Chain A
Amino acid sequence: MTRLAAMISLGILMLLGGCAGWFDGPLSTLQPAGPAAHSAALLWWGMFLFATLVLIAVTALWIIALRRDPGEVSDADAQRQQNRWIWGGGLALPLGSITVLLAFGIPMGHSMLPLPAEDRVEIEVTGYQWGWRVEYPEQGIELQNEVVIPSETAVDIILRSEDVIHSFWVPRLAGKTDLIPGHTNTLRLVADEPGTYHGVCAEFCGVGHAHMQFTAEALSPDDYATWLSEQAAQQDEGETDD
Chain B
Amino acid sequence: MTETTPVQPHEATEQTRSLHQTFSRVWANWPGLGSLAAVNHTTLGLRFMITGLIFFLIGGVLAMLARTQLALPEQNILTADVYNQVFTMHGTIMMFLFAIPVLEGLAIYLIPKMIGARDLVFPRITALGYYCYLFGGIIILSSLFLGVAPDSGWFMYTPLSSAEFSPGPGSDFWLLGITFVEISAMAAGIELTVSILRTRAPGMTLRRMPIFCWYILAMALMIVFGFPPLILASILLELERATGMPFFDPGGGGDPLLWQHLFWLFGHPEVYIIFLPAAGIVSTLIPVFSGRPLVGYRWVVLSIIVTGFISFGLWVHHMFTVGIPQLAQAFFSVASMLVAVPTAIQVFAWLATLWTGRVRFTLPMLWIFGFLVIFVCGGLTGVMLALVPFNWQVHDTHFVVAHMHYVLVGGMFFPLIAGLYYWLPHVTGRLPSERLGKWGFWLTFIGFNATFLLMHLTGLLGMPRRVYTYEAGLGWDWLNLLSSVGGFIMAAGVAMIVLDLLLHARLGRRAPANPWQADTLEWATATPPAPYNFASQPTVTSRHPLWDQSDVAQQMAAGEGHLGEVQQDQRDTLGTDAITARVAERCHLPGNTWLPMLSAAALAVVCIGLLIRIYPLALAGCLVAAVFLLRWSWLNGGHPLAAPLTDAELAGKDDDQSPPLESRTLDGPGRWGMIITLLANGTLYASLLFGWFYLWTASPQWSAPADSPLATLPLLATAILVTVLTLLYRDRVRHLQGGEDRHLAAALGSLTVLGAIATGAVLWVMVSAPLAATEQAHDAVLMVMLIYLFWHCGLATVLTGLQALRVRLGYVSAHLPYETRVLQPFWVYTCGVFWLSLAAFIGLPMAWGGG
Chain A residues close to B by CB (< 8 Å): 22-30, 36-37, 39-40, 43-44, 47, 51, 54-55, 58-59, 61-62, 65-70, 73, 77-78, 81-82, 84-86, 88-91, 93-95, 97-98, 101-102, 105-106, 108-110, 112-113, 129, 163-165, 167, 169, 171, 174-178, 180-183, 185-186, 198, 200-210
What CA separation (Å) do A210 and B80 show in the bound complex?
8
- Say yes or no: A177 contacts B389, CB within 8 Å: no
Q: Determine the main DSSP class of B at the interface with A.
A: helix
The residues of A that contact B153 with a CB separation of less than 8 Å are 204
The residues of B that contact A186 with a CB separation of less than 8 Å are 323
What CA separation (Å) do A22 and B463 show in the bound complex?
14
- Say yes or no: A86 contacts B393, CB within 8 Å: no
Q: 8 closest A-B pairs (Cβ-Cβ)?
A: A175-B392, A182-B250, A27-B462, A25-B475, A90-B345, A89-B348, A65-B354, A210-B467
- Given A43-B390, A86-B299, A30 and B461 contact (CB-CB distance below 8 Å): yes
Q: B460, B462, B467: which contacts A44 (Cβ < 8 A)?
A: B460
Chain A residue with the shortest CB-CB distance to B340: A94
The interface stretch among B372-380, B795-803, B813-821 is B372-380
- Given A90-B344, A171-B462, A78 and B349 contact (CB-CB distance below 8 Å): no
Q: B352, B380, B384: which contacts A81 (Cβ < 8 A)?
A: B352
What CA separation (Å) do A34 and B135 show in the bound complex?
53
Known: A27-B462, A47-B383, A204-B160. 17 other contacts (CB 8 A): A25-B461, A28-B460, A30-B461, A44-B384, A62-B351, A85-B296, A86-B296, A90-B299, A102-B333, A108-B389, A167-B396, A176-B396, A177-B323, A180-B322, A182-B256, A204-B466, A209-B467
- Say yes or no: B396 contacts A203, CB within 8 Å: yes
- Say yes or no: B321 contacts A178, CB within 8 Å: yes
Q: What's the A-B contact tally at a CB cutoff of 8 Å? A: 265
The interface stretch among B19-27, B355-363, B750-758 is B355-363
Q: A22, A39, A167, A202: which contacts B389 (Cβ < 8 A)?
A: A39
Chain A residue with the shortest CB-CB distance to B381: A51
Q: A47, A94, A109: which contacts B388 (Cβ < 8 A)?
A: A109
- Say yes or no: A200 contacts B159, CB within 8 Å: no
Q: B81, B165, B460, B463: which contacts A163 (Cβ < 8 A)?
A: B165
Q: B296, B383, B389: which contacts A98 (Cβ < 8 A)?
A: B383
Tell yes or no: B397 within 8 A of A by CB. yes
What CA separation (Å) do A206 and B164 show in the bound complex?
12
- Given A26-B474, A28-B460, A105 and B377 contact (CB-CB distance below 8 Å): no
Q: A29, A61, A82, A101: which contacts B337 (Cβ < 8 A)?
A: A101
- Given A40-B393, A210-B80, A86 and B348 contact (CB-CB distance below 8 Å): yes
Chain A residue with the shortest CB-CB distance to B334: A102
Q: A28, A91, A171, A202: which contacts B344 (Cβ < 8 A)?
A: A91
Q: Mark B784-807, 1 if CB is under 8 A from A, else 0.
A: 000000000000000000000000
The residues of A that contact B395 with a CB separation of less than 8 Å are 175-176, 202
Tell yes or no: B169 within 8 A of A by CB. no
- Say yes or no: B157 contacts A207, CB within 8 Å: no
- Say yes or no: B380 contacts A91, CB within 8 Å: no
- Say yes or no: B384 contacts A51, CB within 8 Å: yes
25 contacts between A and B (CB under 8 A): A25-B461, A28-B460, A28-B461, A30-B461, A43-B389, A51-B377, A65-B351, A65-B354, A66-B369, A82-B296, A86-B352, A88-B348, A90-B344, A94-B340, A102-B334, A105-B333, A163-B164, A164-B159, A164-B160, A177-B321, A202-B321, A202-B396, A206-B152, A208-B80, A210-B468
Chain B residues close to A by CB (< 8 Å): 80-81, 84, 152-153, 157, 159-160, 164-165, 250-251, 255-257, 292, 295-296, 299, 303, 321-323, 326, 329-330, 333-334, 337-338, 340-341, 343-349, 351-352, 354-359, 361, 365, 369, 372-373, 376-377, 380-381, 383-384, 387-397, 457, 460-470, 474-476, 699-701
- Say yes or no: A61 contacts B322, CB within 8 Å: no
Q: A89, A204, A206: which contacts B347 (Cβ < 8 A)?
A: A89
- Say yes or no: B355 contacts A85, CB within 8 Å: yes
Chain B residue with the shortest CB-CB distance to A26: B474
Chain A residue with the shortest CB-CB distance to B466: A204
- Say yes or no: B470 contacts A210, CB within 8 Å: yes
- Say yes or no: A204 contacts B465, CB within 8 Å: yes
The residues of B that contact A95 with a CB separation of less than 8 Å are 341
The residues of B that contact A78 with a CB separation of less than 8 Å are 292, 295, 352, 356
Q: B334, B355, B392: which contacts A112 (Cβ < 8 A)?
A: B392
The residues of A that contact B348 with a CB separation of less than 8 Å are 85-86, 88-90
Chain B residue with the shortest CB-CB distance to A177: B321
- Say yes or no: A183 contacts B390, CB within 8 Å: no
- Say yes or no: B376 contacts A55, CB within 8 Å: yes
- Say yes or no: A81 contacts B160, CB within 8 Å: no
- Say yes or no: B256 contacts A180, CB within 8 Å: yes
The residues of A that contact B475 with a CB separation of less than 8 Å are 22-25, 28
The residues of B that contact A90 with a CB separation of less than 8 Å are 299, 303, 341, 344-349
What CA separation (Å) do A185 and B457 show in the bound complex?
28
The residues of A that contact B468 with a CB separation of less than 8 Å are 209-210
The residues of B that contact A24 with a CB separation of less than 8 Å are 475
- Say yes or no: A66 contacts B361, CB within 8 Å: yes
- Say yes or no: B387 contacts A101, CB within 8 Å: yes
**B256, B296, B355, B377 interface centre (most CB from chain A within 10 Å):** B355
What CA separation (Å) do A69 and B360 show in the bound complex?
11
- Given A47-B384, A54-B380, A209 and B466 contact (CB-CB distance below 8 Å): yes
The residues of B that contact A110 with a CB separation of less than 8 Å are 326
The residues of A that contact B251 with a CB separation of less than 8 Å are 182
- Say yes or no: A183 contacts B389, CB within 8 Å: no
What CA separation (Å) do A78 and B352 show in the bound complex?
8
- Say yes or no: A106 contacts B465, CB within 8 Å: no
Chain B residue with the shortest CB-CB distance to A170: B462
- Say yes or no: B376 contacts A85, CB within 8 Å: no
- Say yes or no: B157 contacts A165, CB within 8 Å: yes
- Say yes or no: A105 contacts B389, CB within 8 Å: yes
Q: What is the minimal beta-carbon distance from B145 to any residue of chain A, in angstroms?
A: 21
What CA separation (Å) do A22 and B477 show in the bound complex?
12
The residues of B that contact A113 with a CB separation of less than 8 Å are 326
The residues of A that contact B464 with a CB separation of less than 8 Å are 169, 200-202, 209
The residues of B that contact A198 with a CB separation of less than 8 Å are 462
What CA separation (Å) do A35 and B323 show in the bound complex?
20
Q: What is the minimal beta-carbon distance from A107 to any residue of chain B, in angstroms?
A: 9
**A97, A110, A203 interface centre (most CB from chain B within 10 Å):** A203
- Say yes or no: A93 contacts B356, CB within 8 Å: no
What CA separation (Å) do A112 and B391 show in the bound complex?
12
The residues of A that contact B296 with a CB separation of less than 8 Å are 82, 85-86
Chain A residue with the shortest CB-CB distance to B88: A204
- Say yes or no: A27 contacts B159, CB within 8 Å: no
- Say yes or no: B392 contacts A62, CB within 8 Å: no
Q: What is the minimal beta-carbon distance from B298 to any residue of chain A, in angstroms?
A: 10
Q: A68, A73, A105: which contacts B292 (Cβ < 8 A)?
A: A73
- Say yes or no: B354 contacts A29, CB within 8 Å: no
- Say yes or no: B351 contacts A27, CB within 8 Å: no
Chain B residue with the shortest CB-CB distance to A108: B389
The residues of B that contact A25 with a CB separation of less than 8 Å are 461-462, 474-476
What CA separation (Å) do A68 and B469 show in the bound complex?
49
The residues of B that contact A62 with a CB separation of less than 8 Å are 351, 354, 369, 372
Q: What is the minimal beta-carbon distance from A168 to any residue of chain B, in angstroms?
A: 10
- Given A55-B373, A210-B468, A29 and B322 contact (CB-CB distance below 8 Å): no
- Say yes or no: B84 contacts A40, CB within 8 Å: no
The residues of A that contact B152 with a CB separation of less than 8 Å are 204, 206
What CA separation (Å) do A88 and B299 show in the bound complex?
13
Q: A70, A108, A171: which contacts B357 (Cβ < 8 A)?
A: A70
What CA separation (Å) do A30 and B479 show in the bound complex?
15
Q: What is the minimal beta-carbon distance from B249 to any residue of chain A, in angstroms?
A: 8
- Say yes or no: B384 contacts A207, CB within 8 Å: no
Q: What is the minimal beta-carbon distance from A32 to any residue of chain B, in angstroms?
A: 9
The residues of B that contact A43 with a CB separation of less than 8 Å are 387, 389-390
- Given A25-B475, A113-B326, A171-B462, A82 and B352 contact (CB-CB distance below 8 Å): yes
Q: What is the minimal beta-carbon distance from B542 to any residue of chain A, in angstroms?
A: 14
What CA separation (Å) do A27 and B470 show in the bound complex?
12
